[in-house]
Structure 1
Amino acid sequence: MSNKGKNGKLKSESLMIGGTEQWIHYNDSRLHEPLILFLHGGPGVVQVPMLTRYCQSLYEHFLLVHWDQRGAGRSYHFLDKTDLTVQILVNDGIELSRVLCQKFNKRKVILLGHSWGTALGVLMCKVAPGLFHKYIGIGQVGNWLKGEHISYHFTCDQAIRRKKSVALKLLEKIGPPPYKNIVELLIQRTLLIRFGGGMYSGKSALNMIPEYVLWGKSSFLRIPQVTAGSWYSTASLWEQCLAIDLNLLAPELQVPVCFITGRHDYQIPFACAEEYFHNLVAPEKSWYWFENSAHTPFIEETEKFNKLIVNEILSDKIHFL
C-alpha cells in the first residue's frame, strides 16, 4: 500500500514488519543512491517534516528512508496497540533493514539516528553488524539515567541564573529523575528548551508545529495520530529507556561510527555521549562538534550538518551502493 506524499516528492508506503503494518517515507527518485535509514527520536516523535524542510540536500544525494517506528506516526494504530519494548523495536529495525536491502537491491544500510533513535541504532548494530555500512548518531545516548540527572540539574541551574523563581519551584516540586510520570518529564523538557538546552538557537518545539500541520493536511487524522503515538510510545518505553547504558550494553561495535554532537546539548547531554565515545571499541570512530547547536544540529546548523553527512558518505560512496 503506498501513496505519493503531498509534502515534497516523498513516497509513503506501508510494510508488514514484525507482524504489523509500519510506514516508511522515501524519495523514490534516488533509488540508485546509497540507502540511509533514519531512526527518529522520542520515543515516538516522527521527524518527516523536519527532514523535508532542513535536510533537502540529503534527499538529493541519497535514498533517505524515514521509518515511523511501531507505535509512532502512521505506524500508530488507535485500536490495535500492542506492548512496546526496546527489544521489539530493535527486532523491527533489523527486519526492516533486511526488507529495504531486498526491496532496493542494496547490500547494506547506513543508519542515521537522532536522540532515542541513537540508542535503537547502536543496539541494531550490536545485534546485526553485517547489515550496516556505517552508523551515524546525532545527540547520541550513552548512560540514559545519568544524562537525565545532568539535564535536570542544568535546568535548575539555569532557572537560578535567570532568576526564574516559578520555574525553579516547579523543578523542585517534581524533583530529580526518575520522574513519577510523563507530565513531570514534559515540565522539565519544556523548561530545558526554554533555557537553551534543547535548541540553543532560541527556537522551540513550537516552531515545528506548522511543519507537522502541512505534512498532515492530506489526512485530518494525521495530527491526532502523531500526537497520540508520541504520547503512547513515550509512556510505554520511558522506564525502559532509563535502564539503557550503552557503555554496558554495547561496549564494542563491528560497524564504523560517527557521532554528531551539539556543544550545548543538555537534552541528551553531550557529556554522556563523550563518555560512551571514549569507551566504545569500533573499527572507525569520528566525532564532530556543532558549536552553535544543542540537541538538533540538523535544524540549528543546517548547512554544516548536510555537508558533513554528504562528505562522510560520498567520500566512500562506492562501498555504500
Structure 2
Amino acid sequence: MKNKYNRTIFFEEYVHINGIDHYLLHSGTKYSNPLMLFLHGGPGFAESTISYIFQKQWEEIYTVVHWDQRGAGKTFTKNPNETPTFDLLLEDLFLIIQYLKERYKKQKIILFGHSWGTILGSIFVKNFPDEIEYYIGTGQVINMFDNERVGYEKVKELALQANDKKSLRELKALGDYPGGSYGISFKNKSAKLRVIQGRYHLAVTGNFSLILAFMKSPTFKLSDITALMKMDKPNKELINYWCKFDLRSESEEYKTPIYYILGEDDWQTPYIISEEYFKTINAPRKKLYLIPDAGHMAMMDQPNLFFGTLSEIRNEEGKISTIE
C-alpha cells in the first residue's frame, strides 16, 4: 500500500476482536489530532476502499480510521461465514473503540456515520455516550419506509414533469411502494428505485465509475469487488433490521453533541426527514448543515464544502474541550 501523501499515520491491519479478525485502515498527519472512526454504509458496503477520493483534507485535522464491519469488505473476505446481527455489531463497535482508544491514548473518539452507519452510530451514542466526544451523521437515516416513500414521490414528480414514460412505467411496476415488504424483497425493490432515481441524480447507483474508483484505490484487492457483489448474503438479518428502522421510536435525548451534514440533493435518505427529526433532538450541543449541490455521498459531491463544515465542527468542539 503506497503512502502517496507521506502521511505520518498510514497503515492497514487486521485486529482479532470479538472472535474474528476485523480490517482497519488508519490515516492521519498527527497523533495529537482527534480520533475519528468512520462507520460505512450498506449494510455491507465498506467505504474504506474509496476513502482516498474524499478524505485527504480530513487527515489534516483528524486521524481517521475506517472499519470494515462484520459482513462487509475485507472483514467479510477474511470471515466469509459470519452472519452479523445488530447486537453483534454493537459489541464489535464497542470493542473496536476500546482498542483504538488504547492504541492512540485517547479518552474518547469522534464517531462519523454514513447512511447505514448512521443507524449503527445513532444507536451506539445513545447506549455508550461516555465513549464518544461527538457524533457526525451524513446521509442520516431516520425511518427507512419514510425515506423510500418520499424518495419515490420525488422521482415520480420529476418523471411526470419530464414526461419520462419509461421511468413512470418502472415506478408503476413497483406497486404500492414501499408497501409492506421487508428484508431482501424490500432491498431489491429499493435497488430498482435507485436506478430510476439515479437518472435524476437523486441517489447513488452502482455504476461503472464507482467500480473504477474501487479499482484505483491504494488498498484495492480483487476480493473487494467480490465482497461488494455478495454483500447481501451475510447481511440478511441486518437488512431486516435496516428496513424496519425508525430512530423516532428512540428517546430524543442525547448525552453527546450531535451534528448532521446533509446533502441538499439527497433523496435516498431525504434531508427533509432528517431536518424534521433534528428539531426534536435534545443534546448538549447540536447543529445541522446543508451542503448545496450534494447528494447521498455529500463528501464526494462537494469535498471542499464538506471539509469546511468538518473544520468548523472541529474548531468549535476544540474550543469547548479547552474550556472544559
Which TM-score applies when normalising by structure 2?
0.88
Assess, with a 3 A threshold, how the Cα gap between structure 1 residues 182 and 6 changes in structure 2: closer, same or farther.
farther
Contact 2:76 2:82 in 1 (8 A): no
What is the distance in 2 between the residues matched to 1:272 and 1:152?
A: 14
Contact 1:216 1:222 in 2 (8 A): no
RMSD: 2.3
Name the residue aligned to 2:210. 208
Name the residue aligned to 1:285. 286
Letter in 2 for 1:197: L
Which aligned pairs between 1:37-56 and structure 2 lie closer than 5 A? 37-56=37-56
Task: State which drifts further: 158-167 or 30-39.
Answer: 158-167
Contact 2:22 2:75 in 1 (8 A): yes
Assess, with a 3 A threshold, how the Cα gap between structure 1 residues 292 and 187 changes in structure 2: closer, same or farther.
same
Assess, with a 3 A threshold, how the Cα gap between structure 1 residues 112 and 195 changes in structure 2: closer, same or farther.
same
Deviations 1:243-264 (A, max 9, x none): 2111112421100011111112
What is the distance in 1 between the residues matched to 2:86 and 2:145?
A: 16
Contact 2:294 2:302 in 1 (8 A): yes
What is the distance in 1 between the residues matched to 2:282 and 2:186?
A: 35
Match for 2:188 among 164, 183, 188? 183
Contact 2:71 2:235 in 1 (8 A): no
What is the distance in 2 between the residues matched to 1:181 and 1:172?
A: 16
Which aligned pairs between 1:1-321 and structure 2 lie closer than 5 A? 4=1, 10-27=10-27, 29-77=29-77, 80-175=80-175, 176-178=177-179, 179=181, 180-198=185-203, 205-215=207-217, 219-229=221-231, 231-232=232-233, 235-317=236-318, 319=321
What is the distance in 2 between the residues matched to 1:220 and 1:204?
A: 17
Assess, with a 3 A threshold, how the Cα gap between structure 1 residues 216 and 191 changes in structure 2: closer, same or farther.
farther
What is the aligned-residue identity percentage? 25
What is the distance in 1 between the residues matched to 2:64 and 2:157?
A: 39
What is the distance in 1 between the residues matched to 2:220 and 2:82?
A: 26
Deviations 1:50-98 (A, max 9, x none): 3211221011221100110110000104764233222221221122111
Deviations 1:154-187 (A, max 9, x none): 2222222222222222221122015535332211
Shift of 1:14: 0.8
State the number of aligned residues.
Answer: 313
Which TM-score applies when normalising by structure 1?
0.89
Contact 1:39 1:118 in 2 (8 A): yes
Assess, with a 3 A threshold, how the Cα gap between structure 1 residues 164 and 78 changes in structure 2: closer, same or farther.
farther
What is the distance in 2 between the residues matched to 1:159 and 1:95?
A: 47
> Greater relative contact order (Cα 8 A, min sep 6): structure 1 or 2?
1
Deviations 1:167-225 (A, max 9, x none): 222221122015535332211111112212126xxx97533222201227753323212
Assess, with a 3 A threshold, how the Cα gap between structure 1 residues 135 and 146 changes in structure 2: closer, same or farther.
same
What is the distance in 1 between the residues matched to 2:79 and 2:56?
A: 35
Q: Please, which runs of 5 or more residues in structure 2 have no aligned partner?
A: none
What is the distance in 2 between the residues matched to 1:205 and 1:86?
A: 29
Contact 2:20 2:79 in 1 (8 A): no
Task: State which drifts further: 91-100 or 205-214.
Answer: 205-214
Secondary structure at 1:30 match in 2: coil
Assess, with a 3 A threshold, how the Cα gap between structure 1 residues 195 and 218 changes in structure 2: closer, same or farther.
closer
Contact 2:28 2:60 in 1 (8 A): no
What is the distance in 1 between the residues matched to 2:132 and 2:52?
A: 24
Letter in 2 for 1:208: L
Secondary structure at 2:113 match in 1: strand
Letter in 2 for 1:124: F
